[in-house]
């Protein structure tokens, strides 16, 4: 490794929690330290979170469930059926979880044509395209995530896509990221996760992976 390469690798050091700061990820060649990049979808590759919340608000209001926006963001990365089960139990509301999940997902699917790239993240992925293993690992349903990736024109960048159906446990458990690493054929310790939610950060830490908080105003 050249002195220049050594300097780059040292700049890519994460902190004690495993966090690599966003500005470093944007500015540097991540292949100097990592062998796999794992991206969340909603709120990371796409700007879909406000659209998800609109779908959630309409659906939960129809079922008599209160779902404040702050709580929605705190539960980012959790599968829809689990969110509904938690909220309905907390509020003592009887609801058909499967039916409510279908309603919410259908509401969001109708909004997918309005989804756009989060360019500061997709630019990182594009810069490393065909140079490092890359995957998407999401708490969302696989088909819905894939539809978003097609809408923003990046579906073929990610040979591996892990959705909520692929693991029994979900964020903050590490399973979704460990599954992605296994399918990429990369040691988890050599993976870097891009995420926007506290549950996702915790899942990456539990997986033994470094991680990036992609929120620009974090």
Instruction: Report, as residue numbers or ranges, the catalytic residues.
Output: 40
Helix (H) or strand (E) holding 210: strand 210-213
Residue 178 structure tokens: 């460990």
Bridge partners (DSSP) of residue 37 are 134, 192
Q: Which of 23, 10, 106 has its CA nearest to residue 59?
A: 106
Q: In Å, how far are 9, 87, 190 from 208, measured between CA atoms?
A: 19, 30, 9
What three-state secondary structure class fits 136?
Answer: strand
Report CA 127 to chain centroid distance, whole Å. 19
Check whether the bond before 32 is cis (ω within 30° of 0).
no
What three-state secondary structure class fits 110?
Answer: coil
């Amino acid at each position: 490794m050249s002195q220049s390469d050594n300097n780059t690798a040292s700049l890519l050091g994460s902190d004690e929690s495993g966090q690599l700061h966003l500005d470093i990820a944007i500015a540097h060649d991540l292949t100097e330290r990592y062998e796999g990049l794992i991206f969340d979808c909603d709120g990371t590759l796409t700007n879909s979170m406000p659209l998800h919340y609109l779908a959630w608000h309409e659906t939960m209001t129809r079922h008599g469930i209160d779902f404040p926006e702050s709580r929605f963001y705190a539960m980012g990365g959790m599968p829809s059926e689990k969110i509904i089960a938690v909220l309905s139990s907390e509020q003592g509301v009887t609801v058909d979880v499967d039916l409510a999940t279908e309603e919410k997902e259908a509401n969001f699917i109708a909004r997918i044509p309005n989804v756009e790239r989060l360019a500061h993240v997709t630019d990182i992925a594009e810069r490393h395209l065909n140079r490092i293993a890359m995957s998407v690992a999401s708490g969302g349903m696989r088909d819905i995530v894939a539809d978003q990736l097609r809408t923003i024109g990046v579906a073929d960048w990610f040979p591996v896509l892990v959705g909520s159906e692929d693991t029994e446990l979900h964020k903050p458990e590490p399973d979704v990221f460990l599954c992605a690493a296994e399918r990429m054929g990369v040691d988890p310790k050599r993976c870097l996760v891009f995420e926007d939610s506290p549950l996702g950060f915790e899942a990456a830490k539990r997986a033994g992976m470094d991680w990036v908080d992609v929120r620009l105003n974090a």
